[in-house]
Amino acid sequence: MAIFNKPSAERPSTRLDSGNDESSMSVIGPGMRVIGDVESNGVIKVDGTVDGSVRGAQQLLLGKSGVIHGDIYATDAVLGGCVVGTVVVAERVEIQGTSNVQGDIHTKSIVVFEGGTINGTVRMGDALLLQQPSHPAQSETQERELSTDS
């Protein structure tokens, strides 16, 4: 009973009150649908449907029943489901055998397992990732700037 009376500094630490955003995990479960962008600094696991972009994830885990209709911006991604949009991953993308990506992929490293499909271009290298827009409006502005420079 004494644990309830102790100041928070004296209580044993638990996973829930660690305060570390990088260790957090957000789950979009089977049958769940999110309409709008998803942002997190931690791990995002998607087994449901996201109709919007996924941004800022340290790691994105897309299960084989998961669907993302939007762009992905993450440090690391393991894709087992369906993606319709651009995938921009700073480190490594893994396309599992159950995955179907309809869009371009920009990454430093990629692994594609037998059965996984990509209908789009794959670009690799650090320089491309520096051009990643942090917001869709920036992307449109950059495209206009590039077309006027030509």
Positions of E strands within 1-147: 25-28, 33-35, 38-39, 43-46, 49-51, 54-62, 67-69, 72-79, 82-84, 87-95, 100-102, 105-112, 117-118, 122-124
Q: Which residues pair with 68 in a beta bridge?
A: 50, 83
Q: What string of pLDDT tens digits covers the 150 residues of the chain? A: 455 555 555 555 444 444 454 468 999 999 999 999 999 999 999 999 999 999 989 999 999 999 999 999 999 999 999 999 999 999 999 999 999 999 999 999 999 999 999 999 999 987 555 444 544 444 444 444 444 444
CB 17 within 8 A of CB 34: no
Radius of gyration of the chain, Cα coordinates, nearest whole angstrom: 18
pLDDT (0 to 100) of residue 143: 46
pLDDT (0 to 100) of residue 45: 97
pLDDT (0 to 100) of residue 107: 95
Per the document, the length of the chain is 150
DSSP 11: S
pLDDT (0 to 100) of residue 14: 44
